[in-house]
A and B are shown apart, each in its own frame.
Chain A
Amino acid sequence: MALLNDEIRTNLEEVFGKMKKEVTIAVFTKEDGCETCKDTLDFMKEIEEVGEKIKLEEYDIEKDSKKAEELKVEMTPSIVLLDSEGKDYGIKFYGIPAGHEINSLITGIIEVSGSGEDIPSGLKERVAKIKTPVDIKVFVTLGCPHCPGAVAKAHKLALENPNINAQMIEAQTFPELSDKYNVSGVPKIVINEEHDLVGNQPIEKFLETIESI
C-alpha cells in the first residue's frame, strides 16, 4: 500500500520540480531488530518515485559497513543526504522522518539540491567563521509541529560549514539515546554532547551557543 496519498504526491512533485541539481538519499537499514526500517525504506522509495532528480541508494548497516563508516552512520534506520557529486554535508536523519518531519526531510533535499533559501549575509559570515568540529543532535517526535523548524536550521548550518554535522533523531525510535540525553521535551537540541537548547530556537541562538564553545 502506498504511504503517500495522491495529494501529497502532487505537492511533492511540484516541490521537487524546483530542485536545481540531483540529490542522493542513502538509506541504511538492517535485517533484524529494526522495527521502522522497512517503513523508512518504503517511504524513501516513494520519495524517489516522485522526485525526478532524487536517487536512492540502499545500504545494510552490517553488510555495507564500509559505507556506513564512510558516512559515519551509527544507527538504523538512517538517511544521509548527498549532493549531485556524492558529497556528504553531515546531514542525517535517524528514525523515520514521517509525520511532521516530512517537512524537514523535504527542506533538506531542497537545500542539498542547491535550491534552498539564503541565510542573511551577516549570519552567513558568522557561520563561516566556525572552525571547531560541531555536532548537533535535534531530538524530535513525529507529532511535533515546530520540530521540523529546528531540524531544518541545524541541517542548514551543516550545509553551510563543513565543520558542522547535524542529525535529526526521532526520540521514540531511540529510547536509550533519549534517556541518555534526558529528552523529555522536543525539539531538544544537543550541541557537542553538553550544550542543551529546548524549543525551536532562532538560528542566532544556535550560533551563540556554538560560538561560546
Chain B
Amino acid sequence: MGFELNFDTSSMKSNTKKLEDNLMYDVLIIGGGPAGLNSALYAMRNGLKTGIIAEKYGGQVLDTSSVENYLGYESIPGEDLVGAFRKHVEKYDIPVKKDSRVEKVEKNDKRFYLSMSDGTELKSKTLIIATGSKPRKLNVPGEEEFSGKGVAYCAICDAPLFQGKDVVVAGGGNSAVEATIDISKIANKVYLVQRSVLRAEKALVDKLETLDNVEIYLGTQVKEIYGEKLVKGIKVYKKEEDKEFNIKADGIFVEIGYVPNSKPFRDLVKTLPSGEIEIDCSCNTSVPGLFAAGDVTTVPYKQISISSGEGAKAALSANAYINKLK
C-alpha cells in the first residue's frame, strides 16, 4: 500500500485572510493556477492591494502526476510544484477566496464589479483573468451517460479503480501519453486511440514504446462509448481502412486537450470562437484595465512555465495601468 501524505495547509487554514467586499482592490486575480499565482506574487511585490479568487486553488497542475519540463525540477509531482508556488505566494499574506466562482463582471467608471456564485460582490481597479481551461469532451454518444461510470477525465484520480482491467486512453498529446504510461502500470491493457498522429514530446513517446501492454491506434476516431451500467467498450472508425470496429474496455480516459474557462467574461471582453480571450504581448485584452494570462488566453502553447511567465507579465501590465490611473 502506498502511503504518501500530501498535506495542503491552505485548504483548511481558517486564518487565511479573507477578501473584503467593501474594499476597492488594485488587482483581483481570478484563477489559482500557475498564471494566477505568479501574477499574485508580482502584484504583491509591487505593493498592489491584491486578492485571488480561485475555484480550484492550484489549478490543473494538481491533476498532473509528474512534471518534467519545469526549469529547475527534473521531475516533480504536479501538486508538489503547486505546493511550492503556493508557499511562495502565501509568504505575502494574500487574501484568497477559494471554491468560489465568478458569475458576472461589470465595468463601470474604470472600476470592475464582480458577482460571485455565493452571492457576494467584490470590486477592483484592475482584473487579471487566469481561469485556465477544463478538459475537452469527445462529444460522442455514451460519453455523458457513462461519465463517472467508466468515462474519466482525471487519470491520477481514477486510474487506481482500473487495476487489472482494460482501458482506453483517447488523445495523442502529452497528457494522453502521460496518462497511458501511468495507467499501464496498473491496468491489464491500455489502448491509446488517437484521431491523427501522436503530438506528444519525443521523450514521452520513446517511453511509451517500451511498454508491452500498450496498443496504439493512430488515425482512429472514437465514435461511441457503449455499455450497460458501466462502460463495456468503444466503437471506433479507422480512416485508412475505412473500417469500424469495437474495442472492449472497462474504461476510457479522455485526454484530448482543453477548452478555456472564459464563459463568465464573454460579454465583456473579446474572445475567439475557440473561447480563448484575445491578448496582446503585454496581456492586454480588449478592455482597458482587464488583463488575462495563461491557458484561458490566445497565448500559444499551454505549458506551466509559459502560464507562470504570462502571469508575471499581466501583473506588471496591471501595475503600469494603475500608475497611469493616479
Interface size class on chain A is 35 or more
Q: Is B7 an interface residue (CB 8 A)?
A: yes
Can you sample 25 A-B contacts with CB below 8 Å?
A: A5-B5, A11-B7, A11-B9, A39-B3, A98-B4, A99-B5, A99-B6, A100-B8, A103-B11, A107-B11, A110-B12, A143-B65, A143-B156, A143-B160, A148-B11, A149-B99, A172-B161, A182-B230, A183-B161, A184-B230, A185-B148, A185-B158, A185-B161, A188-B148, A198-B147
- Binary interface profile of B, 128-154, with partner A (CB < 8 Å = 1, else 0)? 000000000000000000011111101
Contacts of B160 in A (CB 8 A): 141-143, 171-172
Contact A120 B118 (CB under 8 A): yes
Contact A98 B62 (CB under 8 A): no
Contacts of A146 in B (CB 8 A): 56, 62, 154, 157
Contact A141 B5 (CB under 8 A): no
Specify which of A102, A122, A182, A185 is in contact with B151 (CB 8 Å cutoff).
A185
Number of interface residues of B (CB under 8 A): 44
Which 10 pairs, one residue from A and one from B, show the smallest C-beta to C-beta distance? Answer: A198-B148, A185-B148, A144-B157, A145-B62, A107-B12, A141-B160, A8-B7, A11-B9, A103-B11, A143-B156
Q: Is A15 an interface residue (CB 8 A)?
A: yes
Q: Is B250 an interface residue (CB 8 A)?
A: yes
The answer for the CA separation of A99 and B8 in the assembled complex, in Å, is 10
Contact A15 B147 (CB under 8 A): no
A-B pair count, CB < 8 Å, reads: 120
B137 to A: closest C-beta gap in Å? 14
Contact A110 B14 (CB under 8 A): yes
Contacts of B156 in A (CB 8 A): 143-145
- Binary interface profile of B, 155-178, with partner A (CB < 8 Å = 1, else 0)? 011111111000000000000000
- Binary interface profile of A, 104-121, with partner B (CB < 8 Å = 1, else 0)? 001100100001110010
Contact B148 A36 (CB under 8 A): no
Q: Is A186 an interface residue (CB 8 A)?
A: yes
Contact A186 B14 (CB under 8 A): no
Q: Is A58 an interface residue (CB 8 A)?
A: no
B223 to A: closest C-beta gap in Å? 21
Contacts of A145 in B (CB 8 A): 58, 62-63, 79, 156-157
The answer for the CA separation of A122 and B119 in the assembled complex, in Å, is 10
Contacts of A110 in B (CB 8 A): 12, 14
A130 to B: closest C-beta gap in Å? 20
Contacts of B13 in A (CB 8 A): 15
Residue among A36, A96, A107, A143 facing the most chain B CB atoms (10 A cut-off): A143
Q: Is A91 an interface residue (CB 8 A)?
A: no
Q: A39-B3, A107-B11, A144-B154 are in contact. Are A184 and B117 (CB under 8 A)?
A: no
Q: Is B2 an interface residue (CB 8 A)?
A: yes
Q: A99-B2, A99-B4, A198-B147 are in contact. Are A171 and B11 (CB under 8 A)?
A: no
Contacts of A11 in B (CB 8 A): 7, 9
Q: Is A134 an interface residue (CB 8 A)?
A: no
The answer for the CA separation of A193 and B151 in the assembled complex, in Å, is 22
Q: Is A207 an interface residue (CB 8 A)?
A: no
Q: Is A163 an interface residue (CB 8 A)?
A: no
Specify which of A8, A36, A102, A141 is in contact with B1 (CB 8 Å cutoff).
A36
Contact B230 A98 (CB under 8 A): no
Contact B148 A4 (CB under 8 A): no
Q: A120-B118, A141-B158, A144-B154 are in contact. Are A18 and B230 (CB under 8 A)?
A: no
Q: A11-B7, A99-B5, A106-B7 are in contact. Are A116 and B14 (CB under 8 A)?
A: yes
The answer for the CA separation of A177 and B172 in the assembled complex, in Å, is 34
Within 8 A of B (CB), among A153-189: 171-172, 178, 182-186, 188
